[in-house]
Amino acid sequence: MAELRLGVISDTHGLLRPQAVDALQGVSLIIHAGDIGSQEILDKLGEIAPVWTVRGNTDRGEWARDLPLTEVVAVGEIQLYVLHDLHTLDLEPQAAGFAAVISGHSHRPHLERKNGVLYLNPGSAGPRRFTLPVTLALLQVQDKSLQAEFVSLTV
């Protein structure tokens, strides 16, 4: 399989920064890990690449009603499990065959590998919360290999 670059974004809370749009140019698909804020955010992201998303705890209203709480995204030979709040994870990712778990909610970028599974929180790309950074992540996928990097958004 050719190498694919995925955009991973979360906690936009109704704000899609131009810096985020720029950072996502050229990705094959975008994963939004919830707290989107409005349908307009999904529409704008959809102009860049196909979007997979889950509903966050602040996503309410008619536009968000049908968004799933969890999503399985198949990319080539691997499967990614997406949810908003990692604390609600109710399965064992390694046993379920997931290569990665993608979440948001905390507004803190985080990357670690546990038991062969990549855990990725891209941080918040929306309004700054306290002194936390404003970030998203890019995920490189080649065969069964995953490499992630954070992109700091200048605000």
Q: In the prediction, which pLDDT does 155 show?
A: 78
**Mean pLDDT (the chain, rounded):** 96
- Whole-angstrom Cα distance, residue 3 to residue 22? 20
Side-chain-side CA neighbours of residue 132 (13 Å): 19
How far apart are the two ends of the chain, measured CA to CA in Å? 36
133: pLDDT strictly greater than 90 = yes
6: pLDDT strictly greater than 80 = yes
Within 15-90, where are the H helices? 18-24, 39-46
Q: Are 72 and 54 in contact (CB under 8 A)?
A: no
- Whole-angstrom Cα distance, residue 48 to residue 121? 21
- Whole-angstrom Cα distance, residue 121 to residue 108? 7
Q: Please give the average per-residue pLDDT across 81-108, as a whole number.
A: 97
Rg (the chain; Cα; Å): 14
Express each pLDDT in 56-75 by its tens digit: 999 999 999 999 999 999 99
> What is the total residue count of the chain?
155
83: pLDDT strictly greater than 70 = yes
The neighbouring-strand residues paired with 32 are 9, 53
pTM for the full predicted model:
0.96
Q: Please give the average per-residue pLDDT across 82-87, as a whole number.
A: 98
- Whole-angstrom Cα distance, residue 115 to residue 104? 20
State the pLDDT confidence band at 21, using cuts at 50, 70 and 90: very high
Domains along the chain with CATH numbers: 4-152 (3.60.21.10)
